A and B are shown apart, each in its own frame.
Chain A
Amino acid sequence: MSTNTIISLPDQSTARVPKVNYLSKENGILSWLLTGDHKRIAILYLISLSFFFFIGGALAGLIRLELLTPQADLMATDTYNKVFTMHGVIMIFFFLVPSVPATLGNFLIPLMIGAKDLALPKINLLSWYLYMAGGILALYTMVTGGVDTGWTFTTPLSTHYVNTNVLTTGLAAFIAGFSSIFTGLNFIVTIHKMRAPGMTWFKLPLFVWAHYAASVLMVLATPVVAIAIVLVALERTIGIGVFDPTKGGDPLLFQHLFWFYSHPAVYIMILPGMGVISEVISTFSRKRVFGYTAVAFSSVAIAVFGFFVWAHHMFIMGISNYAVIVFSLLTMLVAVPSAIKIFNWAFTLYKGSITFETPMLYAFGFMGLFTIGGLTGVFLGVSGTDIHLTETYFIVAHFHFVMVGGMLMAFLAGIHFWWPKMTGRMYPEKISQMAAVVTFIGFNFTFFPQFILGTLGMPRRYASYPPEFQILNVFSTAGASILGVGYLLPVLYLVWSLKYGAVAGDNPWQATGLEWQTQSPPLTENFLKTPIMDHDVYDYEWLEAQKEKEVASAG
């Protein structure tokens, strides 16, 4: 083994991917479509999510192309509105919200806690069907005319002033919402009730803690946006007057209900990613996560505080000035637990034996970019600066730093990290490291200029802009094409690796989680016998001892 990697693979000339595993157990399309196995459902999600990601990505490409020039010349302005709306809807509801939880969470939570499956396998399958139904409906609305309200469905625009497919898109988001509720519900029940003997709360991997916190948000916040969408639909169809100012309704109420979900939703979109990063950083610096308890509780704190800050999206909408002050203060509070995580990861790295495999590269990307995204979030949380920056490209840059630089990096880190577990084969290391670097460079080219554009005052959601902003926009579009390459590469080499990748063995990273102590890909029932958690979490010494024992018994 060379010194700069921890990868330890079995002897490739003799190694085989285990014949009996969850993938080979049954064959045929029906065995997939009717499966109750959390691992297979995770794979279903992975495939469908990736599909939606590339649709959303194509729309993003169109947006960037349009913005290459100051004039609205590539498409009509209302087409542009539809394109950015569909980009937002697909990326948020059909990619980011389910991304890590529905794929990695689904696959790994039962494995990590030593259970045979999630508590409610059929509900899990139902979630996927709901997700697909919502997704297909969203695509249908897109090809039959689209919708141009922005992903926020702002009233009264969405209820009175546009005659695009608001209803069907709303319905799609509604259905996807229930998919997410059921996923969260399933995770909470599983984490509470299905843990293996000895698996106490403080032996849970931080990935599980992060998912627990995110699940709480899914279960409690999503129904509020569901009812808001129902009211919008009723307002649009039969004209009830709950949000309609001409009838005495208050459009701001819609904003309250919408952001009561959508702020927590941004944490649904980041917490699971933070869980991935905790695992990756610990494994590739061979150290227990520094301040395990603090990191665990910071996830919960983010979830709890996350419920008290939603009105920071409404500072200039006409809410009470006193509410602005309170929500502004609370918003700054929520940055604290996020910072706790960043600091603790940094301390985990300190004096660790760090190696730079692909997941770790993505994790470094995450740490840097999320920090910038989070800090600019604090700028926006301060009402004074927000009044200047809101509805400009600064917002766009902020949330792309946390969502793309944060969550998407974490998603890719996790996919690479657990790819050997999911498929039994390694991805090719060199090219994937390159892809990670390309992504990072492309990302910064794309989105950093947008901070400057925003500060200079370029508003978001317009197809044209004053010519003096063009240079930075060209930068951004150029960066987006690099980014596109960075995202296409993994698809190619991951698919390639399914057949040609090196056989991974049980534990290629020498990681400590229970999921690594079983075969890859795992059996349908996960473990041969229910594991007993008799050591601490992230216990690398235990792992060493375990290995010595194996060598001793084999020899």
Chain B
Amino acid sequence: MSEEAKHSEHEHHIVSPKVYGAILVALLVGTALTVWASYVDLGVLNPIIALAIACTKATLVVLFFMHVKYSSTLTKLTVFCGVFLFLTLIGMTLADYISRAWGQW
């Protein structure tokens, strides 16, 4: 058996319902906040705030509901990989679109 298998899920951390409850509340508050923020005119900040709140909520779900906070480095790396490549796809594609109109040559 490989090393990773030895010390990851072994000390299987059981998250207590209190934590879950707290996350639920945080998520609901986040939802309310994002709806409220969308009614306030903040210019360019509007989408940024909306995404920031969504990212925070997603992070909470990943860390606690999905137990990543208590998981092995491998799981953490896996999540990181996914986020990184997701951003690569979006970022590099958008880079093309954004720079298309620069310098008319």
Contacts and interface: CB of A to CB of B under 8 A. Distances in A.
A194 B102 contact: no
B87 to A, nearest CB: 11
* Main SS class of interface, A: helix
Given A220-B81, A323-B99, A192 B2 contact: yes
A320 B96 contact: yes
Contacts of B7: none
A199 interface: yes
B39 interface: no
A229 to B, nearest CB: 16
Interface string A245-257: 0000000110010
B105 A321 contact: yes
Contacts of B98: 320
Given A193-B2, A194-B2, A195-B2, A323 B89 contact: no
* Main SS class of interface, B: helix
A504 to B, nearest CB: 31
B95 interface: yes
Contacts of B74: 192
For A252, A308, A319, A320, which residue has the most chain B Cβ atoms within 10 angstroms?
Answer: A320
A317 to B, nearest CB: 10
Interface residues on B, range: 20 to 34
A319 B92 CA distance: 12
A320 B81 contact: no
A224 interface: yes
A15 interface: no
B95 A326 contact: yes
Contacts of A195: 1-2
A319 B97 CA distance: 8
A199 B102 CA distance: 53
Interface of B: 1-2, 4-5, 74, 81-82, 85, 88-89, 92-93, 95-100, 102-103, 105
29 contacts: A192-B2, A192-B4, A192-B74, A193-B5, A194-B2, A195-B1, A197-B1, A220-B81, A220-B85, A224-B89, A252-B96, A256-B93, A256-B96, A260-B89, A260-B93, A307-B88, A308-B88, A308-B92, A311-B92, A311-B96, A320-B98, A320-B99, A321-B99, A321-B103, A322-B102, A323-B95, A323-B99, A323-B100, A326-B95
The 5 A-B pairs at the shortest CB distance, nearest first, are namely A320-B99, A323-B96, A320-B100, A322-B99, A195-B2
